[in-house]
Structure 1
Amino acid sequence: MNVLTILRSVEELLYEVISWLLFYPRTLWMTVMRPLRTMRYSDSEQRDRPEQQYLETLSPPLFLVLSILLAHGAELAFGLDVERGTSALGRLVTGNEQALLAFRALLFSLYAVIFAWLALRLTGKRIDRESLRAPFFAQCYLAGATAILISLGSIGLRANSDLTVAAGGLVIAATTVWYIAVEAVWLRRECGRGPVAAVAIALAAYAGASALVFSLGLIVAWR
């Protein structure tokens, strides 16, 4: 690899990273304010050629990963320490920043894959790597927005100020209601379910995913 090739690679990397400063807040705003439209946008982008996909926003998995990264950066900025596991698995996951961020991304992506799988199951579609891709990518937008909001709310809960704790709890509660409501409407449209059934399914799926995430967290934190 010659010097010119290296410089071009650095140029592309620099442009990609600096573009995140524009496209991350844009993607977050679109997802929070127009979640269903953003999910439909993701579905339509999946039909484009790979090099033409997600030109107006960040790709959904990248958005999720950046949300986790920014949330962790906020933790460090506020001087909040990450509790380190003492078991072998806990030390493996929390022993370095890369493993910790990957584990957190995995936890939030579980919500995305569970709802994507559920939509395919309810519509009777075959579940394989190809059919799962589009709904999973659409769900990653919701998971990314939820990750940054829930994480910021959790930072508030860990603060010493009563006002900050109350604000953090409000953010978490509002985000949870928003997420379940969006999923209920999405399931109703995607799966043709009635409003009551859609809400019930969304609540059950969210509870199941949360139980799985909580269980994995306990396993890592187990002493």
Structure 2
Amino acid sequence: MDFMNLLRSAELLLYEVVSWLVFYPLTLWRCIRRPAAMIAYAEQELTRPPEVQFAEALSPPIFLFLTLVMAHMIQGGVFHNEAVFQGVLSDQRNLLILRAVAFSLFPLLLGIQHVRLSGQVLSRQTLRPMFYAQCYVTVPFVLVLDLSLMLVSVPWAGSGIAALALFLLGLVWYAVALMRGFMIHRNISGRRAIAQTALAMLLGTLCFLATMMLSLLSGPVTFGD
């Protein structure tokens, strides 16, 4: 009986992992093309029974974490320019967890803003759908940021300019997506949406940098060739 349960668990796990090959690019394309619709999709899916949630896309936290895992593997395996920490962060698994936490600060702060603007009391129940929704919007920007950092390390004269252009394109897309999300889903004016977007990006950047600075407490850091 235990062996059969193990086989069923392996079957479910194998299908889940393989299905990511289909639903990751589909989810990414939908997030890039229609970020506002994906915000609504995430918030609506969490009102459904757990067994049928996110049947047409990846779960937002899994989507974000997979993006970070792939970027981490490509950065270290292809470009060989990953940061090498001492101490507890010398373990790549711990470093990956730190990156996941750092980048999750953006959807977390945005989720708090959306809860406040919706007039709800901040709680684990009200924050969760807002956090999930903002994960969808954050992933394309995270992907562009990582690609820009990788592009800088390419031995090509124009790599710096190309990386900067790619980063600015991603930043503009992210800002517009956040602003439209505030306007459509929280029903606020364009001026107020711009202010909320600027606040979110400023606070997210400060918290991200603070997290990175705290990581240096584990010891000195070097970079691969």
Fold agreement, TM-score > 0.5? yes
Structure 1 letter corresponding to 2:7? L
CA contact (8 A) 2:104 2:135 kept: yes
CA distance in 1, matches of 2:121, 2:157: 50
Question: Alignment partner for residue 106 of structure 1, among 101, 108, 124?
Answer: 101
Give the number of aligned pairs. Answer: 218
Q: Normalised by the size of structure 1, how large is the TM-score? A: 0.92
Question: Alignment partner for residue 133 of structure 2, among 138, 147, 169?
Answer: 138
Q: Higher relative contact order at CA 8 Å, sep ≥6: structure 1 or structure 2? A: 2
Write out aligned runs for 1:61-140 (5 A): 61-86=61-86, 91-92=87-88, 94-140=89-135
Off by >3 Å, runs of 4+ in structure 1: none
Residue 208 (structure 2) pairs with residue 213 (structure 1): yes
Structure 1 letter corresponding to 2:84? R
CA contact (8 A) 1:65 1:144 kept: no
Unmatched 5+ residue regions in structure 1?
none
Between 51-60 and 188-197, the greater mean CA deviation after superposition: 188-197
Structure 1 letter corresponding to 2:70? L
Unmatched 5+ residue regions in structure 2?
221-225
Structure 1 letter corresponding to 2:174? Y
Deviation at 1:61, TM superposition (A): 0.5
Deviation at 1:47, TM superposition (A): 1.2
Structure 2 letter corresponding to 1:38? M
Residues 174-222 of structure 1 show CA distances to partners (whole Å, capped at 9, x for unaligned) of: 1111111111111122333211221122012101110110121122135
Counting aligned pairs with the same residue, the percent is 28
Between 2-11 and 100-109, the greater mean CA deviation after superposition: 2-11
CA contact (8 A) 1:156 1:169 kept: no
In structure 1, the partner of 2:173 is 178
CA distance in 2, matches of 1:10, 1:199: 47
Structure 2 letter corresponding to 1:65? F
In structure 1, the partner of 2:223 is none
CA contact (8 A) 2:31 2:137 kept: yes
Write out aligned runs for 1:160-179 (5 A): 160-179=155-174
SS of the equivalent of 1:84 reads: strand
CA contact (8 A) 2:79 2:150 kept: no
In structure 1, the partner of 2:43 is 43
Q: Normalised by the size of structure 2, how large is the TM-score? A: 0.91
In structure 2, the partner of 1:10 is 10
Residues 15-54 of structure 1 show CA distances to partners (whole Å, capped at 9, x for unaligned) of: 1111000000000000011111111111111111000100
CA contact (8 A) 1:154 1:169 kept: no
CA distance in 2, matches of 1:165, 1:15: 40
Structure 2 letter corresponding to 1:20? W
Deviation at 1:14, TM superposition (A): 0.9
CA distance in 1, matches of 2:54, 2:178: 22
CA distance in 1, matches of 2:28, 2:148: 16
CA contact (8 A) 2:180 2:193 kept: yes
CA contact (8 A) 2:145 2:170 kept: yes
Write out aligned runs for 1:14-33 (5 A): 14-33=14-33
